[in-house]
Amino acid sequence: MNDISQPSKFELPTIFVIFGVTGDLVKKKILKALYHLYRKKRLPQRFRIYGFSRRDYDDGKLRSYLREIMQTNSYKEPEYFDEFLQAFSYVKGDFNIKVAYDDLAKTLGRVDGEWSICSNKLFYLAVPPTSYSDIVTNLHESGLTKPCGPEEGWTRVILEKPFGTDLATALGLDRQLGDLFKEEQIYRVDHYLGKETVKNILVFRFSNSFLTPSWNKNYIEKIEVRLLEHLDVQSRGEFYDKVGALRDVGQNHMLQLLGLFIMDHPYKFIPEDIRNKRSEALASLHVMSESDVAKRTYRGQYKGYLQEKGVDPKSQTETYFRIEARSDLPDFDGVPLILESGKAQECEMIEVIVTFKETPLCLYDVEGEQKNTLHYHIRPDEKITMKFFAKKPGFSNETAEHELGFDYNKAYSKELFVDDYESLLFDIIRGDQTLFVSTQEIMSEWKFIEPIVKTWKEQNKPALFEYEKGKKIEIKS
């Protein structure tokens, strides 16, 4: 059934166990990704998927539930729905009760007996983070995550962000995972790393030799990472008010993007080296003092936020932030690294802008600043553009700004694009950890974020400002 050449470990029979199979993550992301992989013949030839949940379901009811999701969301090729869904079975159990895992182990053991081989096993925790501790403990104690051997029967555990709510909880979760599993068994998902344009950042940076000489503090004036959302908190008020914009998207998505733009060249283009360099980049960020936070951060809240359902009427939770970070990496020492994100913004966009310094010895007189910029668009457009200067036609030496660009959607057929969860699941099966967050990265992210959150909360510095929904926020540096 597979049409790609992969190592034998990829071809081995594989069992997927999804904790929280009736939850939102499966409904919105995982089911579709698995179906696409199935239709593209990117799953192992023999595979089964077990849903683990507390609902009073059986195999037939689970399949009917999943089929309804596929029909409601207009999945393509409905003639293959039933064939795909035959791979699903249901195991009823409570995440907190060990005997349920013993029953699951017996079920999976019977499948191995049918196949006459110790299958690979993948455990996806599609559940709230509050359930992580009980699940990983019970998985370990039941023996479900014990690999059969180096050549067959690997086991992998997949967790979604957030990885803790602060440095202490992140450390606690990490210690528990480290005590129970090997690092190569743990896959921490930040779905932004699976986006096609994000996966391309390293290829773009390190495969184009003309960029290398100028990718440092001698030529780069600043780097800006923006994640702007047009929508407000909508129905997530109660959750959002406990988290805020910085912990919701800054601590993970945005710092991961920044790491990809400032990391050093990996020694080899392999997962271990890439993750090490990304980790070094995040560890290089200055941990801010209270005075740094007061001077180099801004936080705002949109008008009407306090009236949102579930929000504390006296809430000081930020829905917008702007942070000027600094790095100790030799190539970026002194370069402002700006992180900006907010709800209820003028437009919807995710982008990284690299601004180069003004040409020091320009041959021609020009009005205003003459700076080249590299604009890396991730959403809504998927493209890369660069601004440059050229002479206008005529007798004078007047210059004008122009743009070079590459547009993903114009260059490639839409069929070639891979959904972020589809890409991540495929890499988990292959055992490629490049797009997954390491322990060191998570700790560095929290060490950078926590002093900012603490100063905002305890010192009220800088003061929270109010902004109009749907209007651009202007902050003078």
Q: Active-site residues: which are they?
A: 253
Crossing angle (nearest 10°) for helices 255-262 and 196-206: 20
* Spatial separation of the C-alpha atoms in residues 155 and 139, rounded to whole Å: 11
Residue-wise DSSP of 317-339: --SEEEEEE-B-SGGGBT--EEE
What is the radius of gyration, based on Cα positions, of the chain? Answer: 24
CB atoms under 10 Å from CB of 92, counted, come to 16
Structure tokens at 473: 């926020």
| Contact (CB, 8 A) for 181 and 175 | no
Q: Which amino acid is at 376?
A: Y
* Spatial separation of the C-alpha atoms in residues 91 and 18, rounded to whole Å: 10
| CA angle (80, 86, 90) in 5-degree steps | 140
| Contact (CB, 8 A) for 351 and 377 | yes
Tell me the CB-side half-sphere exposure of residue 364, using CA atoms within 13 A. Answer: 14
Q: Where are the beta strands (DSSP E) in 103-249?
A: 120-125, 155-160, 186-189, 220-228
Using omega within 30 degrees of 0 as the cis cutoff, is the peptide bond preceding 162 cis?
A: yes
CA distances from 301 to 134, 241, 252, 290 (A): 36, 11, 21, 21
Contacting residues for 95 by C-beta, under 8 A, at least 6 apart: 19, 54, 127, 131, 134, 135, 138
